[in-house]
Structure formats: C-alpha cells, structure tokens
Structure 1
Amino acid sequence: MNLKNKIVIITGAGSGIGAATAKLFGTHGAVVVASDINLNNAQKIAGDITEAGGIASAIKTDVTQYQEVEALIANTIEKHDRLDVIVNNAGIGGKEQLKTAEHTHDDWHNVIAVNQTGVFYCMKVALQHMMRQGHGNIVNVASLAGLKASGHNLSYSASKFAVVGMTKSAALEYARKNIRINAVCPGFTHSALLDQLLAVSPDMGEKLKRFIPMGRFGEADEIAEAICWLASENSKFITGQTITLDGGTSL
C-alpha cells in the first residue's frame, strides 16, 4: 500500500482497532498523529511506532468537544503543513444492554455524542482544510450494527447507522473535490467493546460465534488492513462505500 509520508490522524488510537491502525500506518511509512481521550494510551502507541522506526506523535482529544477537534487538526497542520487522512475511529458502547423502552438517557446521550457527533465534528473540520489544500481522504469506523438490526443496543446502532449515512452523503458532496470518504463496518472484533459484551454471561462468546460463518471473532489488525487500504492510493476510485468485515455474519 502506498502510504509513505502521508499525514494521518487517528482518533481513538489508544487501544483496539485505533491502535492497530496507527501501528499499521506507521509500518507503511505514514506520519501518524495518535489521538485519544486517554493521553497515556495515545503516547504509548506513538512510542511503539517510533521505536519501530516510524514517525508518530500523540495528542489528547475529546471528540465530543468541537474546540478540541479544531485544535487537533490545526496543530497537525501547523506541524506538518497538511492533513492527508483522518480515521474517525473513536467510539464507545452503552453501559447497559437494554431494550428500547428501558434504554437509559445517559447511554443515549453519551454514545451519540462520541460515535455520531464526534464523527461529524472531525469530518466538518477536516473537510474545511482538505478543501483548501485540494485533496484528502476520510475513513470512518462504523459497524455491522450500522447495517443491520442490533437488539438491546439502540444508541450504538443509531450512531453507527448515522456514520454510514454521513459517509455516503459527504462522499457525494466532495467527490469532485479530490476528497474520498469511505467507512468500514466491523462485525464482532476483539476489542474493549466486545469484552464488555462477553461479560454479560460466561457462554456469551460461544453464542455469538454461532452467528459467524467463519466461527471466530475478527482481529483488530484485520480491520486496520482495510482502513489503510481505503486510505491509500490503491483504492483511488472508491468513495462512499462501506466495507463489511464480519466473517460472513451479515450473510
């Protein structure tokens, strides 16, 4: 993949898919800005990339705060003169697994703020800069829960359906401006969110695997490969698409 010297921001880079993606970009020679609400985690990932011979830095960002998103992107451009790619990966799940009538207000507002509004803020600010520089690439991390029904999970599902819709709408708007916007939709993938789901009951893991034709959960590295490919010149005629990585679950 041709990613050498691309300036890349990854939100939620401190763990899971974000961390795997940041490291893979670093391996391919990109200049990585690892952003996370947990600065220690982001610094660790940036350190790992640097130790492996790459170039990386860390910035603390709460994507629910518009001013912090502005600062993240402005600082990146001030330091590197441009922004080639932003991967909007920061996301959370609800604390409770409840049906819609019992869904808590806190879960609704918190999940929507990070997963939906945070992606909007990052896209809005990044697009302003990408328009001025004449090019850009955005990869949003949605979910299988943004493509099909997901019970006991209303706010998460709503936020990920929104990410898919925002991806397609923005891709249509900016296709003639040399800016590509795509999304990945992971199924059940080893991450903190999956760990939270597996904690519901001792046999939850085996129950979930019955719905996956490949019979296993995804790995963060596998999602990272798709993200980096979408961000590279190897996919330069692709925009407005969702790549589903779910081991066949959606079948």
Structure 2
Amino acid sequence: MDNTPSTHTPTTADAPAVRGLLEGKVAFITGAGRGIGAAAARLFAREGARVLLAARTEDQLKAVTEEIRAAGGTADYIRCDLADAAGVRAAVDRAVDLYGRLDVAFNNAATIVPPGPMDQVLEADFDHIYVVNLKGPWLAMSAEVAAIRATAGTGAIVNTSSVGSLMGNPELPAYGAMKRAVNSLTESAAVTYGPEGIRVNAIAPGTTLTEMIRAWEASSPGIVERLNAHTPLRRAADPDEIAQAAAWLLSDRSSYVTGTVLRVDGGARA
C-alpha cells in the first residue's frame, strides 16, 4: 500500500460542472421583447434553456434574440398577439417545432390602462386589459399544458401577477382585478394539472423599473417615489430580480412548489 502523501492540488477541472438552473429545458416566454420578459429570456438562456420569445413588436424581439445568440445562447422569436387564440397556439407550437418539446413557460405579457378611479375607467380600456391580462394567460396556459403533456410529459408554468392584485387597488382597479383573476387561474391550474406533474405558479412583482412603470410615472409624477416609500427595501426592482424568481419556480429546484403566488415586492406587503 502506498502511503505517500498526494501532492496534487485541486483545480477547477476537478470540480463537478455546475449545471444551469434550466439546463436542457425548452422555455416559451410571452412579453419577451422588453422589461421583465426580456430579462427572463436572457436569464433563462444563460441558465441553459433553449428559449422562444413571443411578443407583438418584432424589432424588440429580434434585438433580444440576437443579444442572446451573441452571448452563446439558443433563442428564436415569433410575433404573437395574446388576444388571438390561434396565434397563441401557433406560437406555442412553434417552440415544439423548433426544439422538439416544451418544458416550461413564462406568461409575462401584460398591458396597462390610464390610472384612475373605477368609475373613470373607459369600457374600451377595461375590455382591452381583460383580453391581454386575463384571457391571454388563459389561452397561453391551455396551449402550454397541451404541448407539455404531448412532449416533455411534465413541466412548469409561471404567470406574472402583481402585488397590486393582493389588495384594493384604487389607482389601477381594472389592472388589479385582472391580475387577481390570474392568481385564481394559477391556483386552479395547479390543482388540475398537478397530478400529471405539471406545476403552475405565479409571481407578484412590486414596483419594477419597466416601461410600464415609467408610463405610470409619466401620467402620475412621483408615483415611483411614493411606492418606494412604502417598500421596506426603499427601492424599485430591476427586471432581472423578478426574472430570477420566475427562473427558480420553473426549475427543478422548486419541484414541490405549485399553486403559489410568490410576492417579489421588496417587502411591500409584509
């Protein structure tokens, strides 16, 4: 028996390779041209997923896709209007056509209407926010469940809700109502598809520095400062911080989490 002490110095090559959070998964992302959706697309690709980006604005989608590819990731995009059921199904099917399967989906696309009391919300605005923020996620989840079931067999879906869905929302009543309904759809889907191994969760972001919050700031100057004053961390989130929560919920590291609306709000609702 050789008892000579080893002189070998461990190196990085000796360490086990660190797998990405979403290594080997195919991810479909709506609202992926900007804000949280674009941050998620970049993050998911860095974490090893092959991603399909969907949104209405092609130049934004193309820019994010090219950025991901330049960084060594695998990405493609498709124009998709969440108000169009056939278009949503076609977008989800495109992910399967490109990559052979669907494992995870992040339903992030949303719109906002001018802030103000409920009696001042225009009917046309209410109808529009319903179609995009509630009907859209419903259409997407239905298509995604079918695609996951037919290919990967098991998987995960995350919907973007809002901390504004967890309380009365006098400044954005229609927006808050649709997001609260998304919470209900999320929980119902989790109960329905859990036995098949399909997990469904939602994230409820607080104030996040996206184009949407900047538009709200433009119409209601000082709103970000007021929101930050009621946030224990005293700041707004970067979109990547919200995307990180979605990535974890979509990953196998959250394998026993379903039916949850996870607050990512800097403590605003604590």
TM-score when normalising by structure 2: 0.90
Contact 1:135 1:177 in 2 (8 A): yes
Contact 1:188 1:217 in 2 (8 A): yes
Contact 1:34 1:43 in 2 (8 A): no
Q: Does 1:86 align with 2:86?
A: no
> Where do 4+ consecutive residues of structure 1 move more than 4 Å?
none
Alpha-carbon deviation of 1:76? 1.4
SS in 2 for 1:180: strand
Equivalent runs, 1:100-249 vs 2, <5 Å: 100-133=118-151, 134-249=153-268
Q: Does 1:75 align with 2:98?
A: no
Deviations 1:108-149 (A, max 9, x none): 011111010000000011112222332121010100011111
TM-score when normalising by structure 1: 0.97
Amino acid at match of 1:192: E
Looking at structure 2, the residues matched to 209 and 3 of structure 1 have their Cα atoms a distance apart, in angstroms, of 32
Amino acid at match of 1:109: D
Q: Please, which of 90, 99, 102 is the counterpart of residue 117 of structure 2?
A: 99
Q: Which blocks of at least 5 consecutive residues in structure 2 are unaligned?
A: 1-19
Alpha-carbon deviation of 1:5? 2.0
Looking at structure 1, the residues matched to 28 and 169 of structure 2 have their Cα atoms a distance apart, in angstroms, of 30
SS in 1 for 2:219: coil
Amino acid at match of 2:168: A
Contact 2:21 2:247 in 1 (8 A): no
Alpha-carbon deviation of 1:103? 1.1
Alpha-carbon deviation of 1:205? 2.8
Partner residue in 2 for 1:55? 74
Instruction: Give the paired residue count.
Output: 250
Q: Which moved more, 1:37-46 or 1:198-207?
A: 198-207
Alpha-carbon deviation of 1:201? 4.2
Alpha-carbon deviation of 1:52? 0.3
Q: Which moved more, 1:65-74 or 1:129-138?
A: 129-138
Amino acid at match of 2:145: L
Contact 1:182 1:239 in 2 (8 A): yes
Q: Which blocks of at least 5 consecutive residues in structure 1 are unaligned?
A: none
Looking at structure 2, the residues matched to 223 and 208 of structure 1 have their Cα atoms a distance apart, in angstroms, of 17
* Max Rg structure: 2
Amino acid at match of 2:225: E
The percent identity for this pair of structures is: 34
SS in 1 for 2:136: helix
Alpha-carbon deviation of 1:153? 1.1
SS in 2 for 1:33: strand
